[in-house]
Homo-oligomer: A and B are copies of this chain.
């Protein structure tokens, strides 16, 4: 499994990925799932992947080697596409090509074709965008209504995002929320594991990129996990106890005898 979360904020982008890859529960490895393509002053495009590692690595290679544009026939790569939309379409086309190559043989082995990609970034003079590309090559874009996207095992980490993330969330706050969301997933899904790769990008900067790898020993992440746990414990303790006697109890389950 995998967990990656991307946030699309007024201030910029936050992208966070775990690094655990597993072929069965008895065979786990560490592979980066977050990569970025930066041409100073011209483009910053970051990509996170979930699903089969063999498929996502093929897709990432293919978008670097380039594919012919279906209309013009000209070969485009992730470093030459003129817009973020065309970058998403390029990844979609790469996924379809990988599907054509591998799906039949994988199906014979009862392995499902599973790959999804998150794409965030900006080209100079254009708007910053965040996309999610599905395993059929179609894609959606984050908007103001729901300014985050998730790939991999999204459920454990979604409640805190649903509650707290808006476009106005500052990047530093969003990094905390992404790490809290990841912490919930790490605790409940062994297929998601440390270290983590984090990238933040400042809107309209092209070059305002910060990345870091967060390990088991990272003092900030350790502090955040401890404080979050302690705050949750305090939060439910502080809620007054239920007073069921006062409940009007209109729908007591029927007694079946």
Contacts and interface: CB of A to CB of B under 8 A. Distances in A.
A178 to B, nearest CB: 10
Interface in A225-257: 227-229, 231-244, 246-247, 249-257
A239 B66 CA distance: 44
A32 interface: yes
Interface stretch (A85-93, A110-118, A151-159): A151-159
Given A227-B238, A252-B211, A159 B172 contact: no
Given A35-B256, A64-B256, A255-B37, A162 B176 contact: no
A195 B251 CA distance: 9
Nearest to A252: B211
A177 interface: yes
A58 interface: no
User: Within the oligomer, what is the number of copies of this chain?
Assistant: 2
A218 interface: yes
A188 to B, nearest CB: 5
A156 B156 CA distance: 5
Interface size class of chain A, counting residues whose CB lies under 8 Å from the partner chain: 35 or more
A34 B253 contact: yes
A35 B244 contact: no
Nearest to A246: B220
Given A163-B233, A232-B235, A244-B212, A188 B250 contact: no
B253 A155 contact: no
A160 B251 CA distance: 27
Contacts of A164: 232-233, 236
Contacts of A184: 159
Interface of A: 32, 34-38, 60, 64, 79, 153, 155-156, 158-160, 162-164, 172-173, 175-177, 179-180, 184, 187-188, 195, 197, 199-200, 210-215, 218, 220, 223-224, 227-229, 231-244, 246-247, 249-257
